Amino acid sequence: MSQPAIKLYHVPLSGHAHRVELMLSLLQLPTELVFVDMPNGAHKKPEFLALNAFGQVPVIDDNGTILSDSNAILVYLAKKYGDGKWLAEEPLAAARIQRWLSVAAGQLAYGPASARLITVFGAPLNAEEVIARSHALLKVMDGELASTPFLAGDTATLADIANYTYIAHAPEGNVSLQAYPNVLAWLERVEALPGFVPMQRTAAGLQTL
């Protein structure tokens, strides 16, 4: 019996939604993309709030199992469908992955993701501050990626999936990646994974193509 399609409620330019779309694709899971018209307030309507009371994307519906929060969804998908590949059971390896999931919810969200919110969505944030936070994160990432091909070790894990999108799209928020060769090489390794799908780019910030 074939796997029913997992519904992914998303917005095409949301990096949080893309990390889930990427994980679903890497796992080769049938997916039905459901567009949420956030500019017109669809995320605040009762039917969507019944799926996620915070009124945010992404949300998945896995044959009746409703789950929100991108990192929580990644953990669920890895545990249910990942055959132990994406989220380690060994304590230290699991902790290393969790560290980068925390980075994705912290330094990444308040650095590159916020910088992109300014240029792509017009968010009223302090560009100088968020760009400075972005480069502080990138320096740490570049240093750690000097000794490992992926963020949590020798193979791709949820650590990479959670952090990829907003780093890859950082130039859209006027955050240059040119000073971070190890980060650039890491992005290429993630993009070479079987099943990789990109997120739509915007001609914003330094990303003019």
Enclosing domain of residue 184? 91-191
Residues 101, 178 share a domain: yes
Instruction: Describe the strand order of the beta sheet including 65-68 as a list of residue ranges.
Output: 31-35, 6-10, 59-62, 65-68
Residues 133, 43 share a domain: no
- Residue 1, pLDDT score: 58
Given a contact cutoff of 8 angstroms between Cβ atoms, the answer to whether 11 and 18 are in contact is no
Can you give the CATH number for the domain in which 42 is found? 3.40.30.10
Residues 166, 104 share a domain: yes
Q: What angle do CA 163, 20, 201 make, to 5 degrees?
A: 70
Residues 42, 75 share a domain: yes
Q: Give the C-alpha separation, 4 to 91, whole Å.
A: 33
Domain count, the chain: 2
Of 81, 111, 128, the one marking the end of a domain is 81
- Residue 208, pLDDT score: 56
Query: Which tokens in the block code for residue 6?
Result: 């997992």
Of 81, 99, 121, the one marking the end of a domain is 81
**Does the residue 197 lie in any domain?**
no
Residues 176, 104 share a domain: yes
Residues 133, 105 share a domain: yes
3-state SS class at 131: helix
**Does the residue 201 lie in any domain?**
no
Residues 74, 37 share a domain: yes
pLDDT in tens, 17-72: 999 999 999 999 999 999 998 887 889 888 888 889 898 899 999 999 999 999 99
Residues 175, 99 share a domain: yes
Residues 64, 107 share a domain: no
In order of 10, 86, 141, the CA distances from 169 in angstroms are 17, 23, 15
DSSP letters along 161-202, please?
HHHHHHHHTGGGGT---TT-HHHHHHHHHHHTSTT--PPPP-
**183-190 long-range CB contacts below 8 Å, 24 or more apart?**
183/138, 183/141, 183/142, 183/145, 185/145, 186/141, 186/145, 186/149, 186/150, 186/151, 186/160, 189/149, 189/150, 189/156, 190/150, 190/156, 190/160, 190/161, 190/164
Can you give the CATH number for the domain in which 141 is found? 1.20.1050.10
Of 81, 100, 125, the one marking the end of a domain is 81
pLDDT in tens, 113-161: 999 999 988 889 999 999 999 999 999 999 999 999 999 999 999 999 9
**Does the residue 207 lie in any domain?**
no
Residue that is written with structure tokens 């990303």 in the block: 207
Residues 104, 65 share a domain: no
